[in-house]
Structure 1
Amino acid sequence: MPELPEVETTRKGISPYCEHQKVLSVEVRQPSLRWPVPDNLAQLLEGQVIRGIQRRAKYLLLAFDHGTLIIHLGMSGSLRVMLQPEPAQKHDHVDITLITGHTLRYHDPRRFGAFVWTDQPVAHHKLIAHLGPEPLSDQFTAQYLSQKCQKRKTAIKSLIMDSKVVVGVGNIYANEALFMSGIHPKQLAGQLSEGKISLLTEKIRFVLQRSITQGGTTLRDFVGGDGKPGYFAQQLNVYGRAGKDCPECGYQLEEIRQNNRSSVFCARCQPLQA
């Protein structure tokens, strides 16, 4: 699934071609995504100018004068800018063609993505309103995370993956940040020291920023806005490496399941505190 770095990579990839450009035409080949694509999407967008493209959590927000198109890439979706006309393939579901001749094409084999229109302030939309702070924003601080951890009997990995607490810390990045912080994924949030919380906040920022800088984590179904995959997966310390040697101490990495997600860790570097 494309995570925050992949979505941010997509935003950066498509923005130079799409921002401040007028929509010439819209073609919806497959309206049955996670929710039905608005049947009047062409009427809403044609002739309108994309004023800006922002990201909130894993949502891409295309701003127009009269509303916002909220796009989610789902499990396997991607947005690419086609600089030259190319025949649509089986899973190319939506084309937004611009006055420049460039086409923003949405590809989604599993059709779990979404195109949602709102003419209300996007921050109040039900998909957006409940979200916690962005992990790279000034709102996500050690003090903030400490407040969220207080007296919580929730495993810290589950807490930092809760989008109501902080957005965008997907499974890969949670594994990596916890390893870098020396925190066991099952450690209760309320038992963490202020020092560990501060370090975890720093490492969450670090691992996400590094991934964004390097183009996102290479996932099977993901391609970036320029058609190129990311390369961060080559630098993962623990995720996907269960049974291999810890890169820090050489101890064998272990794997457990938490909320049906894989947690890989080093029991020596990340001891579970009583």
Structure 2
Amino acid sequence: MDLQLTGKVAFVTGASKGIGRAVAQELAQEGCDVVITARTQEPLEVAAREIAAMTNRKVVPLDGDMSKHPDVQRCVGAALEQFGRIDILVTCAGSSPGGLLEDLTEEQWMSSLNLKFMGYVRTVRAVIPHMRERGEGVIVMVVGNDGLKPSYWEMTAGVANAADINFASSVAEQYGRYGVRINTVNPGPVNTDRWDGLEKAFARDKKIEQDAAHEMALSSIPVHRITEPHEVAALVAFLTSPRAAMINGAHIPIDGAQRKALMDV
């Protein structure tokens, strides 16, 4: 299926590895030129070289911390200077520590909210005026499914993700009239280094082996496996395409039915 993305310019945060890298690669394979950002320069440059070699598209690495307003402004400004526009924004940057309420510090709470929530807000605010001026643009925020249904051990992530979902719904209502769409994609466990780290931390907290922690995660997923990064990326790419033109303000789980609810938010 042709997603009609050839020649579009995409800006992807958190793209040195994991879901963000998979999204950048998927969009480049669909014909986009891609600006990728992450905090660590070396893996970001490796990702850019490998994706460019694989897809024959321009892939521009810009190291920056999306929890810092000046970094967001610098990266978005550099992308606009090089390409003249940003057609697609995908926010993937940010992770939050797991743990019990009494074990989480105020610094951990604030760090999670500053990167995972305010980092998304900063990036959207930096890009959306240019989309509004052009009368078109698509934003997809990758927001964990614990934002749709609470999980006590993923409390910091769940609170930040719930705020992201509320934010995206509000932006969709305000900017749809200007030709700008925004949706969130809500993965459960995904086969990434981040999930492996969370699984290890959960196992330590519960004083069990990691294999047992992994099996506990699988037991909550009816399809009995975790999601692969390329599966999330495929959904993101579809949502950025003209074929999804009437999907706006939606929050779409991709978790094998791990989170079950009768009503969306």
Under a length normalisation based on structure 1, what TM-score does the superposition of the two structures give? 0.27
Structure with higher strand content: 1
Structure with higher helix content: 2
Structure label with greater radius of gyration:
1
Under a length normalisation based on structure 2, what TM-score does the superposition of the two structures give? 0.28
